[in-house]
């Protein structure tokens, strides 16, 4: 169980397994998963103005402007269900976003507790992104070989066709990795200086990584597993 107001950031390249770990951690530790990628994809699906603007950037693998994303995250963190523990997945992605987040948390007498950095090779990231398939209904992620659905190409839960995200196409994937290196990698030193950064091995399987993260939480007394209370 995490203390109220607990905040954890998942940092790493696209394809590092942040979304998969966030789903597992959310369940095990009763946290709220706040994924800016999911929020933006929902805005696109709704046809909102934010969604229309975001889509142009996302299709090219570029970052959506800080102002749009930061406002959405701050609004989300202000909702009642975000008062317990929260996992931020895919945010912050730039130094300006990290500073805005610090400022907003500070204004609410809060601060980040830990930043998990998923150190991941380009080969692993590309293999995962190119094989990723998604259910547009429930949002669950699969992988053609690493996490296959029971029936090929069909969501286990919703029984509808899985799709490949537009930004998981090879050219866009390449650009997303470049964008990560140019904009997001800088955050590693930002959080290291604040002694918040903990490195984990993003090349491991989902189960191995989940177990290592649990061991790290225990060693540092960050949060405990609800099922063991």
Segment contacting ligand AMP by CB under 6 A, of 26-34, 56-64, 189-197, 219-227: 56-64
Smallest CA-to-CA distance from 11 within 120, 124, 100 is with 120
Q: Is 41 a catalytic residue?
A: no
Strand, helix or coil at 140? coil
Q: Is 140 a catalytic residue?
A: no
Q: Quick check: 214 binds ligand AMP (CB under 6 A)?
A: no
Q: Quick check: 69 binds ligand AMP (CB under 6 A)?
A: yes
Q: How far is the CB of 215 from ligand AMP (least distance, A)?
A: 26
163-187 burial by CB neighbour count: b if 16+ within 10 A, else e?
eebebbeeebbeebbebbeebbeeb
Binding-residue total with ligand AMP (CB under 6 A):
18
Q: Quick check: 58 binds ligand AMP (CB under 6 A)?
A: yes
β strands within the chain, DSSP E: 7-11, 31-35, 85-89, 114-119, 132-134, 141-143, 197-201
Burial class (CB in 10 A: 0-12, 13-18, 19+), 11: buried
Question: Nearer to ligand AMP by C-beta: 141 or 224?
Answer: 141
Segment contacting ligand AMP by CB under 6 A, of 35-43, 45-53, 110-118, 152-160: 35-43
Residues in contact with 200: Cβ distance below 8 Å, sequence separation at least 6, in sequence order: 116, 117, 118, 119, 209, 212, 213, 216
Question: Nearer to ligand AMP by C-beta: 8 or 222?
Answer: 8
Q: Quick check: 36 binds ligand AMP (CB under 6 A)?
A: yes
List phi, psi (to 5°) of 23.
-65, -40
Q: Is 132 a catalytic residue?
A: yes
Q: Quick check: 40 binds ligand AMP (CB under 6 A)?
A: yes
Contact characters 81-110, ligand AMP, x per CB under 6 A:
---------xxxx---x-------------
Which residues are known catalytic residues? Answer: 18, 93, 132, 165, 176
């Amino acid at each position: 169980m995490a203390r109220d107001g607990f905040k954890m950031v998942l940092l790493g390249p696209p394809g590092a397994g942040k979304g998969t770990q966030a789903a597992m951690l959310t369940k095990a530790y009763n946290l709220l998963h706040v994924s800016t990628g999911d929020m933006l994809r929902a805005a696109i699906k709704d046809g909102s103005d934010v969604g229309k603007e975001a889509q142009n950037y996302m299709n090219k693998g570029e970052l959506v402007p800080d102002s749009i994303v930061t406002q959405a995250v701050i609004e989300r963190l202000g909702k009642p269900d975000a008062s317990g523990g929260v996992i931020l997945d895919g945010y912050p992605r730039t130094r300006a976003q990290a500073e805005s987040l610090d400022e907003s948390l500070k204004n609410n007498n809060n601060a980040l507790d830990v930043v998990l950095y998923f150190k991941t090779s380009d080969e692993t990231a590309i293999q995962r992104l190119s094989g990723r398939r998604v259910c547009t209904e429930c949002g669950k992620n699969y992988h053609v070989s690493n996490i296959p659905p029971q029936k090929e190409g069909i969501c286990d839960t919703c029984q509808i066709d899985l799709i490949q995200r537009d930004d998981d196409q090879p050219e866009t994937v390449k650009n997303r990795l470049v964008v990560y290196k140019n904009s997001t990698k800088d955050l590693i030193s930002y959080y290291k200086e604040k002694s918040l950064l903990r490195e984990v091995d993003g090349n491991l399987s989902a189960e191995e990584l989940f177990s290592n993260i649990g061991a790290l939480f225990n060693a540092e007394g960050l949060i405990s597993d609800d099922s063991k209370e």
